[in-house]
């Protein structure tokens, strides 16, 4: 793979030019807001675990804990883990995240599939830090495998929430969910993916990811690249290099990436329209954004590209330049609707963007 190894600026300069404490404060505040939001409340005193706020928080906050020399889980990490563990233990008693009046008949099943994957992903990511697979995580994996599709076009994947909301709750999101499941498998300690009882499930998952690969957006393929960093057998070297080249080809002159170009990578009239216009008819900002840049840069790092690589350094430099150091966040906007950037819902994309910016920048300082 012909990748430049030139260094655009010293890695330490990039790593030290952003405010880790402010980023941790923002992520903590937003996870607190999500857990307390009435719209996230669920039965038995639990709350919904979101792909936009909770999942990225679970990935990024432990790295900040280490970087800031904190000696224990943050209060919000503990509450998130307790909530997930409670829902896993009460799995057969709890209502789905979405059910009943106001939702179509498929929402309960979609909710269960989505939650089963997300619960397992979060618990496995923390077990990876501890080096031991907990009983709760084993139970979460059992719940997840129990809902894996065994027939139809999504055979090997999971029912997934469909709200026509990119990038996590839309028609193409089952593939994203399958990459989360694969990443959970790859992170799980104790050589979990060698367990005889899960081999059939793993084979169905691998076959699904391979079978549906050609139809995926560049963003979904980036998620697969991330999963393969923990489960290398998911990707051939040729396919891995293809994804890397696709991502690098979409890097912009300022060093960043634009989410719309990663979400809609084709050249059909519809995909070209989506790059410029949201579903509500408002124009998409034609510039690099923090979510796309954080995800792309982190995926390149995880794929094994050295931190001295010029393209990686340009991505890191973009992230370091674009943190709002007053609030600690990296701003990003929705592909679906124009939202008030200071509202709770308007911050969802910035929550994910901030977490992935932290992942990319922290990765660059520790390798």
Q: What is the pLDDT of residue 6?
A: 33
pLDDT tens digits for 57-108?
999 999 999 999 999 999 999 999 999 999 999 999 999 999 877 788 899 9
* pLDDT band, very low/low/confident/very high, at 341 (cuts 50, 70, 90): confident
**What predicted TM-score, i.e. pTM, was given to this entire model?**
0.93
Reported for 19-23, long-range contacts at CB under 8 A and 24+ positions apart, including other chains, are 19/323, 19/325, 19/328, 20/64, 20/67, 20/68, 20/358, 20/362, 21/68, 21/328, 22/323, 22/325, 22/326, 22/327, 22/328, 23/64, 23/323, 23/328, 23/329, 23/354, 23/357, 23/358
Q: Torsions phi, psi of 169, nearest 5?
A: -140, 55
pLDDT over 50 (residue 357): yes
Rounded CA-CA distance 99/110 in Å is 10
pLDDT band for 12, please (50, 70, 90 cuts).
very low
Task: Give the separation between CA 257 and CA 353, rounded to whole angstroms.
Answer: 12
Q: So what's the pLDDT on residue 86?
A: 98
- Number of neighbours of residue 254 by Cβ within 10 angstroms: 14
DSSP symbol at 282: P
Q: Where are the alpha helices (DSSP H) in 231-289?
A: 237-249, 259-263, 269-274
User: In three state form, how does the secondary structure of 91-151 look?
Assistant: CCCCCCCCCCCCCCCCHHHHHHHHHHHHHHHHHHHHHHHHCCCCHHHHHHHHHHHHCCCCC
% of the chain beyond a pLDDT of 90: 81
| CATH architecture for residues 11-366 | Alpha/alpha barrel (1.50)
Summarize the confidence of residues 177-187 as an average pLDDT: 98
Band of pLDDT at residue 269, cut at 50, 70 and 90: low
* Distance between CA atoms of residues 33 and 327, nearest Å: 15
């Amino acid at each position: 793979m012909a990748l430049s190894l030139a260094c655009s600026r010293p890695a330490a300069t990039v790593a030290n030019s952003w405010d880790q404490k402010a980023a941790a404060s923002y992520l903590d505040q937003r996870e607190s807001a999500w857990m307390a939001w009435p719209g996230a409340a669920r039965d038995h005193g639990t709350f919904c675990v979101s792909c936009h706020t909770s999942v990225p928080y679970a990935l990024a906050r432990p790295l900040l804990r280490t970087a800031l020399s904190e000696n224990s889980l943050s209060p919000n990490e503990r509450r998130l883990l307790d909530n997930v563990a409670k829902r896993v233990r009460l799995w057969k008693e709890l209502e789905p995240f979405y059910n009943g009046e106001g939702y179509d008949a498929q929402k309960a099943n979609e909710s269960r599939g989505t939650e089963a994957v997300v619960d397992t992903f979060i618990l496995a990511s923390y077990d990876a830090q501890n080096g031991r697979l907990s009983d709760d995580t084993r139970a979460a994996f059992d719940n997840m495998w129990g809902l894996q599709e065994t027939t139809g076009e999504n055979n090997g994947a999971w029912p997934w929430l469909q709200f026509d909301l990119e990038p996590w709750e839309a028609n193409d999101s089952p593939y994203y969910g399958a990459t989360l499941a694969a990443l959970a498998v790859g992170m799980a300690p104790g050589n979990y993916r060698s367990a005889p009882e899960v081999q059939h499930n793993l084979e169905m998952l691998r076959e699904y990811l391979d079978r549906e690969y050609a139809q995926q957006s560049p963003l979904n393929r980036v998620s697969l690249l991330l999963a393969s960093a923990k489960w290398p057998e998911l990707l051939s070297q040729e396919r891995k290099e293809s994804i890397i080249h696709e991502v690098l080809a979409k890097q912009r002159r300022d060093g960043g990436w634009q989410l719309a170009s990663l979400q809609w990578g084709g050249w059909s009239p519809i995909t070209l329209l989506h790059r410029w216009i949201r579903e509500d008819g408002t124009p998409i900002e034609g510039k690099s954004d923090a979510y796309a840049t954080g995800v792309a840069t982190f995926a390149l790092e995880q794929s094994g590209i050295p931190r001295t690589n010029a393209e990686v350094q340009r991505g890191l430099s973009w992230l370091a330049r674009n943190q709002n150091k007053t609030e600690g966040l990296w701003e990003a906007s929705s592909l679906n609707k124009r939202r008030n950037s200071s509202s709770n819902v308007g911050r969802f994309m910035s929550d994910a963007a901030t977490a992935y910016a932290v992942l990319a920048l922290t990765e660059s300082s520790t390798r």
